[in-house]
Chains A and B, each alone.
Chain A
Amino acid sequence: MNLDLNLQVIAPALIVALSLLLVLLGEVFLPASQRRWLGYLALIGLLGAAVVAAMLWGANLSGFGKMVVADAFGLFLTLIILLGAALSVLLAFDFVRAHQLDTGEFFALVLSAVVGMIGMVTATDLIVIFLALELLSLPLYVLAAFKRADKRSLEAGLKYFLLGAFASAFFLYGIAFVFGGTGTTNLGRIAAVLGASPRSDVALVGMGLLGVGFAFKVALVPFHWWTPDVYEGAPTVVTAFMSVAVKAAAFGAFFRVFLVALPELAADWRALLAVIAVLTMTLGNVAALLQSNVKRMLAYSSIAHAGYILIALVAMGVNGAGSALFYLLAYTLTNLGAFGAVIALSDGTRERLELNDFAGVAKAQPLVAAALTILLLSLAGFPPFAGFTGKFFIFGAAVESGWAWLAVIGVLNSLISAYFYLRPVVQMYMVEPAGGWNRLRVAPFVAFVLAIAVIGVLALGIVPAPVIALASGGFLK
């Protein structure tokens, strides 16, 4: 009997799964007027999981025959995912009511996606990683199409589903090849077999197919085509959640598979990923320049940010993985805050998404305008905000590992990006609105999210040392 039942290792995911079941039961038994409590229930589950994840820090547990681990890398990403999910749930409180979405199902699907995400970043077996990938993807396909009355939301869901299913097939095919070449799906044993045997084409093909699967999920060029349409069509809260949490989860597994299982093939994948990073950054930023819709702009910006994070993977080593974790945390806070500002500026169900909708916001909503300005500056990588320190660490890691030219292209791309991130700022502060702006009441939860995002972005930007120390401690052995 090989029963290695170490439930502690999966405790954060178990707590989220438990709250998922409670939310589903609540949806059945609570009267419609009381369903808003389901959001609080989801929030409590996420916070409880975060507390447990923090308690596991440093113990370095593994369980289920080394199929999952609770190492620093996985726990750091788990905490990022839980933070992103909790802030998204806060943004969703008033959003689901205003847009008349099904409350219970909404939160239940968010929670099940979170379970999948935690699974992805803590799994050390390709089978578990694949199941976790599916568990995170399926709810998101549905969440993207959640506004069933809206054709674009349905289109987003369908597109995401078809391309995501395609990507999953590639990923599964890759697993089959890696298994065929090495006889195992455990990441550590794959590395051991590859290290002991001569170079095998089978593993190389497997690596390529796994890479395609990951590239779809984190939206790397040329597998990014779905991103703008899905981000634009999906309900804004879902876009916010998707843009940060999926990136953290998929990059977590991407890093773990490539750094733990395939370091033997590093010479092959580093060059390939470096090229993809350049393409991704450049295309993301240049395409973002051309957008007039803020959600589409943020979609292309998220593609560009995936390119920056990919530089960290090419850099490898302690600095590479550590800087990627730091960057993902900074990106989660910043991007969720930016989407929070977009939600704060929407008037009931009418959202202001075109650039010229932002004209004159600074006069009507000075606080929201200031918050959005800080967040956009952070996304562009201006000091003293988190985006700057994050890029600084990533480019530093690239230079140290001998990929200075990649860092240079990254810096050039940041310069391009400043232009489109500043366009809404110019609109808000310097352009007079065409129509009058009636002052909106910003929902307290949304204001809270904005406050957390701004404080976090400033704190990470000014005193990054403790967090980068924690993130670098999470290097994968």
Chain B
Amino acid sequence: MSTPLVLTYVGFLIMAAVAICGGLIAVSARNLIRAALGLILSFVGVAGLYFVLEAEFIAVVQILVYVGAISILVLFAVMLTRGLMRRDLSAQNSQWIAALVVALVLFSALLLVATGTNWKVAETKIAGDLIPKLGEQLMTTYLLPFEAVSLLLLAALVGAIVIARE
């Protein structure tokens, strides 16, 4: 292994560990604020993975949207809901053993497939600045999904207002 590859590998391991630890905190913490903070840690780990994969733009978006916006919203929602902050809540119920078994089976199946496959690798690196190309693709090839998202956001907005209004 060449040195940059080793560095990439180490970076991947660190970031994956951060993401997994964050996820574990998010599901096991009894205090909702701690769970939300664990979720933020997990998001940061995923953003780090994107950096390691040289998808800097996606990584920055991940931090802006997930760490910046969504996590703050979650924290606000928890803090604004009366009585939710101090109470200890358990994220476990009587079916946790069955769920664990199913999750482990599914995980090992996916792991077997993922490690046993010759994944397609792009032969050529895209030259030049990526972000303008991404924008161009969004407005040409992926115009329809792009516009569909705007309708989706409108529906979500109307729905959120209906649910939240007194």
Given contacts A3-B143, A141-B159, contact A112 B117 (CB under 8 A): no
**Judging by beta carbons under 8 Å apart, are B144 and A205 in contact?**
no
A105 to B160, CA, bound (A): 11
0/1 interface trace, chain B 133-166, chain A, CB 8 Å (1 if under): 0000000111111001101101110110111000
* Cβ–Cβ contact B148 & A148, under 8 A: no
Report chain A residues within 8 Å CB of B148.
Answer: 119, 128, 131-132, 135
Please report the C-alpha to C-alpha distance between residue A177 and residue B114 in the assembled complex, in whole angstroms. Answer: 9
In the assembled complex, A307 has its CB within 8 A of some CB on chain B: no
Residues of B close to A67: CB separation below 8 A? 144-145
CB-based contact B151/A135 at 8 Å: yes
Check A205–B110 contact: CB distance below 8 A: yes
A200 at the binding interface (Cβ < 8 Å): yes
Please report the number of residue pairs spanning A and B whose Cβ atoms sit closer than 8 angstroms.
82
Taking a contact as CB atoms closer than 8 A, the residue among B113, B149, B162 that contacts A105 in the complex is B162
Would you call A455 an interface residue if the criterion is a C-beta within 8 Å of the partner chain's C-beta atoms?
Answer: no
Main SS class of interface, A: helix
Let me know if A131 and B152 touch, CB within 8 A: yes
B120 at the interface (CB under 8 A from A): yes
A142, B159: Cβ atoms closer than 8 Å: yes
Residues of B within 8 A of A94 (CB): none
- A181 & B117 in contact (Cβ 8 Å cutoff): yes
- A side interface size, CB within 8 A: 44
Beyond A105-B162, A145-B163, is A201–B116 a contact (Cβ under 8 Å)? yes
From 121 to 155 in chain A, residues with beta carbon under 8 angstroms from any chain B beta carbon are 125, 127-128, 131-132, 134-135, 138-139, 141-142, 145-146, 148
Q: A127's contact among B109, B119, B142, by CB below 8 Å, is which?
A: B142
Q: A17 to chain B: which residues have CB within 8 Å?
A: 151
Q: Evaluate contact between B161 and A112: CB separation under 8 angstroms.
A: no
CA distance A180 to B151 in the complex (A): 28
Question: Contact between B109 and A138 (Cβ–Cβ < 8 Å)?
Answer: no
Cβ < 8 Å to A, chain B residues 120-141 = 120, 140-141
- Distance between Cα atoms of A140 and B141 in the complex (Å): 29
Are B151 and A205 in contact, CB atoms less than 8 angstroms apart? no
Interface centre among A3, A109, A135 (most CB of B within 10 A): A135
Judge whether A347 is part of the interface by a CB distance below 8 angstroms. no
Whether the Cβ atoms of A105 and B161 lie closer than 8 Å is yes
B159 touches A138 (CB 8 A): yes
Is A438 located at the chain interface by the 8 A CB criterion? Answer: no
Find out whether the CB atom of A180 lies under 8 angstroms from the CB atom of B120. Answer: yes
Interface of B is mostly: helix
Assess whether A400 is interfacial by the CB under 8 Å rule.
no
Rounded to whole angstroms, the CA-CA distance of A180 and B159 in the bound complex is: 34
- A31-B143 Cα distance, complex, nearest whole Å: 37
Give the Cβ gap from B105 to chain A, nearest Cβ, in Å.
13
Q: Is A202 an interface residue (CB 8 A)?
A: yes
Bound-state Cα–Cα, A128 to B149, Å: 10
Chain B hits for A68, CB < 8 A: 144
Q: Is the CB of B155 within 8 A of A3?
A: no
A183 at the interface (CB under 8 A from B): yes
In the bound complex, residues from chain B placing their C-beta under 8 Å from that of A127 are 142, 145
Is A64 located at the chain interface by the 8 A CB criterion? Answer: yes
Q: Is A267 an interface residue (CB 8 A)?
A: no
Query: Of B110, B143, B155, B163, which contacts A112 at CB under 8 A?
Result: B155
Q: Mark A1-19, 1 if CB is under 8 A from B, else 0.
A: 1110100001000000100
Which residues of A lie under 8 Å from residue B117 when comparing CB positions? 180-181, 200-202
Q: Is A24 an interface residue when CB atoms closer than 8 A count as contact?
A: yes
Q: How many Å lie between the Cα of A115 and that of B141 in the bound state?
A: 21
Cβ-defined contact, B144 with A2, below 8 A = no
Partner of A1, one of B140, B145, B149: B140
**Which of A1, A24, A119, A138 counts the most B-chain CB atoms under 10 A from its CB?**
A138
Bound-state CA distance A1–B140 (Å) is 7
Q: How far is the CB of B47 from chain A (nearest CB, A)?
A: 18
Chain B residues positioned under 8 Å from A2 (CB to CB):
140-141
Q: Are A142 and B163 in contact (CB under 8 A)?
A: yes
Name the CB-closest residue of B to A154: B163
Q: Is B151's CB under 8 angstroms from A64's CB?
A: no
* CB pair A5 B143 closer than 8 Å: yes
- Count chain A CB atoms within 10 A of each CB in B143, B149, B162 and give the residue with the most: B162
**Which residues from 17 to 45 on chain A have a C-beta closer than 8 Å to any C-beta of chain B?**
17, 24
Chain B residue nearest to A142 (CB atoms) is: B159
B156 to chain A, nearest CB (A): 5
Convert B79-120 into 0s and 1s, putting 1 for each residue whose CB lies closer than 8 angstroms to a CB of A: 000000000000000000000000000000110011011011
Per a CB cutoff under 8 Å, which of B114, B120, B155 touches A109? B155
Residues of A near B119 (CB, < 8 A) are 180
Q: Are B159 and A109 touching (Cβ within 8 A)?
A: yes
Chain A neighbourhood of B113, CB < 8 A:
177, 201-202, 204-205
The answer, among A64, A102, A141, A183, for a CB contact under 8 Å with B143, is A64
Residues of B close to A115: CB separation below 8 A: 151
CB-based contact B158/A131 at 8 Å = no
Within A175-222, which residues are at the interface with B (CB < 8 Å)? Answer: 177, 180-181, 183, 200-202, 204-205
Bound-complex Cα distance A234 to B97 (A): 32
In order of increasing CB-CB distance, the 8 nearest A-B pairs are A142-B159, A112-B155, A64-B144, A131-B148, A2-B141, A201-B113, A2-B140, A135-B152
A interface with B by C-beta (< 8 Å): 1-3, 5, 10, 17, 24, 64-65, 67-68, 102, 105, 108-109, 112-113, 115-116, 119, 125, 127-128, 131-132, 134-135, 138-139, 141-142, 145-146, 148, 157, 177, 180-181, 183, 200-202, 204-205
A/B interface sample: 16 pairs, CB < 8 A: A3-B140, A64-B143, A65-B141, A67-B145, A102-B162, A105-B161, A109-B155, A125-B145, A127-B145, A132-B148, A142-B158, A183-B120, A201-B113, A201-B116, A202-B117, A205-B109
New A-B contacts (9) at CB < 8 Å, excluding given A135-B148, A202-B113: A1-B140, A109-B162, A116-B155, A128-B145, A128-B148, A142-B158, A145-B163, A181-B117, A201-B117
